[in-house]
Amino acid sequence: MALHATAFSFTGVSTSSKSSRSALLSLPRRCAVKATSQYPHSFPRCKIQGRALPSDNGLVEKDESSLVVCFGEMLIDFVPTTSGLSLAEAPAFKKAPGGAPANVAVGISRLGGSSAFIGKVGEDEFGYMLAEILKENNVNSDGMRFDPGARTALAFVTLRKDGEREFMFYRNPSADMLLQEDELDLELIRKAKVFHYGSISLITEPCKSAHIAAAKAAKDAGVILSYDPNLRLPLWPSAESAREGILSIWNTADIIKISEEEISFLTQGEDPYDDNVVRKLYHPNLKLLLVTEGPEGCRYYTKDFSGRVKGIKVDAVDTTGAGDAFVAGILSQLASDVSLLQDEGKLRDALSFANACGALTVMERGAIPALPTKEVVLNTLLKSVA
């Protein structure tokens, strides 16, 4: 997949009318937000009512003992309304919330699990909008911070006719890059069952140090570490720095999910379909290595067994967020039943569930808007075996 990027410094986002500004502002300015980058709790002066996912009895029931905390970036994806055109040719774009760790957090909550997001956005309309989206999806946002001096990150996504993507990022720097170690909610991290992260937060300081400190706090507390490198080559200074950065934390993860493309990149061109090549990436303390293959499904590797689980074929509209939906699917299952790491039958069932999550997500534009509920996933699985 070809990726492109540009350096761009922006000072604001204009709105053409009072009504459009109101539609964009999930949280109005009268909430009296201080000009500071750290908030002990999200929106201390604003009352926000989130639309939580109801249980069968109509009440929100989240098992905090199965909490998945997702760390990293949250941003706005601008997805063209017409596929198969370059960014310059696209007539219009759909604004969609995104960012891999945030996608996973929302995905888990939509599936009925318990999740939290830790990261930083700009103290701007887009930042407030993203925070409100977390609230609406019943994602714990106590670890979310706001930066008064940097904007929320933007990414323009070009869709080819087959739904595959090319990216152009606007972050110079964006707020997510500026999260500091002393802004971390360590209590939230330590009470997680799973701590999930990517590699984009390793690219620049101070976020890199915050990432390493957060992962160490989780590891020391006995939390399962889940790693999806989520390679975005244009964001790194060079291919070599990307490879070194991704591998620098490789051996600390308990679960790693990678794509075929990322295997080729990390092994410098070796065959991603060769099990011997994949096994080179399996470090001694790893509990589960997952390789996603798009519509073909996924492969899994543990110390004791390995195999393949077929995917569900659908007509792809936009593949943005498919891998994140897959991760949300498997982590939502794992957080409630860690024994699936030792039980191949349970693992295969969980991966079938995760494959369905990914397939359903590519059928709509944008990542978070397309993430499925547990009911939809289960109905899809029933239809696929009928």
Looking from the CA of 150 toward its CB, the CA atoms found within 13 Å total: 21
Give me 319's structure tokens.
């593949």
**Secondary structure (H, E, C), 269-324:** CCCCCCHHHHHCCCCCCCCEEEEECHHHEEEEECCCCEEEEECCCCCCCCCCCHHH
Tell me the CB-side half-sphere exposure of residue 274, using CA atoms within 13 A: 9
With H, G, I as helix, E, B as strand and everything else as coil, classify residue 36.
coil
The token duo for 371 is 């993430």
pLDDT for 62: 62
Q: In this structure, is the dihedral angle defined by the CA atoms of residues 203, 205, 211 and 212, taken in order, positive or negative?
A: positive
Given a contact cutoff of 8 angstroms between Cβ atoms, the answer to whether 80 and 90 are in contact is: yes
Closest by alpha carbon to 97, among 26, 44, 49, 22? 26
Alpha-carbon span 87 to 80, nearest angstrom: 8
Q: Which domains does the chain have, with CATH numbers?
A: 64-74+100-151+174-385 (3.40.1190.20)
Collapse the DSSP code of 31 into the 3-class scheme (helix H, G, I; strand E, B; otherwise coil) and give the result. helix
User: Of 184, 106, 104, 168, whose CA–CA distance to 139 is shortest?
Assistant: 106
Determine the pLDDT at residue 356: 96
Inter-residue contact 39 to 24 (CB < 8 Å): no
> How would you label 284-307 residue by residue, b for 16+ Cβ within 10 Å and e otherwise?
eebbbbbbbbbbebbbbbbeeebe
| Helices within 144-273 (DSSP H only) | 186-190, 207-220, 239-247, 260-266
Taking only the tens of pLDDT, the chain with its 386 residues reads 333 333 333 333 333 333 333 333 333 332 333 333 443 333 332 322 233 333 333 334 566 789 999 999 999 989 888 878 888 888 999 888 999 999 999 999 999 999 999 999 999 999 999 999 999 999 999 999 999 999 999 999 887 776 666 788 998 899 999 999 999 999 999 999 999 999 999 999 999 999 999 999 999 999 999 999 999 998 999 999 999 999 999 999 999 999 999 999 999 999 999 999 999 999 999 999 999 999 999 999 999 999 999 999 898 888 888 999 999 999 999 999 999 999 999 999 999 999 999 999 999 887 888 999 999 999 999 988 75
How far apart (Å, rounded) are the C-alpha atoms in residues 153 and 98? Answer: 10
**pLDDT of 63:** 66
Looking at residue 339, its amino acid is S
Give the helix/strand (H/E) hosting 100.
Answer: helix 100-110
Which contiguous run of DSSP H or E holds residue 288? Answer: strand 288-292
Q: What is the pLDDT of residue 286?
A: 98
How do beta strands 115-122 and 140-147 pair?
A: parallel
Q: Give the number of other CB atoms < 10 A from CB of residue 273.
A: 13
The predicted pLDDT at position 163 comes to 62
Can you give the pTM of this predicted structure? 0.82
Q: Is 337 within 8 Å of 346 (Cβ atoms)?
A: yes
